[in-house]
Chains A and B, each alone.
Chain A
Amino acid sequence: AQSVTQLDSQVPVFEEAPVELRCNYSSSVSVYLFWYVQYPNQGLQLLLKYLSGSTLVKGINGFEAEFNKSQTSFHLRKPSVHISDTAEYFCAVSETKAAGNKLTFGGGTRVLVKP
């Protein structure tokens, strides 16, 4: 079984400042890694995913994440945030060899961008 820990439940940040959201996972098998964003009263939208290859993954809206296998981490970053980035962000994993496609989510990090 796998688990995902998002170390920060809330992150306040000023507009145009950088932000980093931390994600650590635990799994006995190899995994795929995802970051989703959830805007108020909406479903989740995929920001980016790591499947294989380069450990630095670029996603939509200027976000990027780096996979670190030795530290079992997949931290999300954006160099300069906008007011519109205010949302909740979820890190998730799925097993590479599982028959299904079960996503295990972390508890989420709420980002509040201040003007």
Chain B
Amino acid sequence: EAGVAQSPRYKIIEKRQSVAFWCNPISGHATLYWYQQILGQGPKLLIQFQNNGVVDDSQLPKDRFSAERLKGVDSTLKIQPAKLEDSAVYLCASSLVGQGRDEQFFGPGTRLTVL
């Protein structure tokens, strides 16, 4: 069974530029998550989708971050414009139905460096 796929694996941009990350969850998983992991910290949830609807985006900085999951499968996370403090690893995860007891399966992440 294929795992969660993410691309690109690494990205370096200058501040004020825009960037987009892509995630393809495990086939059949209804729930998709985007986490931000700053160096030395645990992951922090940015947004959770259930199919193509948003369940929780309370910690998403909506003035610069956006995410979509139009067909309820793959998803894109965008940052525009990027700031230095956005340097982090962006992890995508998926789970079967999105209940509290569900295991979340994580992709390898995209490491973003903002110069």
Interface residues of A (CB under 8 A from B): 4, 32, 36, 41-46, 49, 51, 90, 92, 94-108
Q: Say whether, besides A43-B4, A100-B48, A32 and B100 are in contact (CB < 8 Å).
A: yes
Residues of B in contact (CB 8 Å), total 27
Residues of B within 8 A of A (CB): 4, 31, 33, 40-45, 48, 50, 55-56, 91, 93, 95, 98-104, 106-109
Residues of chain B with a CB closer than 8 A to A100's CB:
48, 50, 55-56, 98
Distance in Å: Cβ of B77 to nearest Cβ of chain A: 15
**Given contact pairs A51-B101, A101-B98, A101-B100, A45 touches B106 in the complex (Cβ within 8 A):** yes
Residues of A within 8 A of B56 (CB): 100, 102
CB-CB nearest in chain B for A101: B98
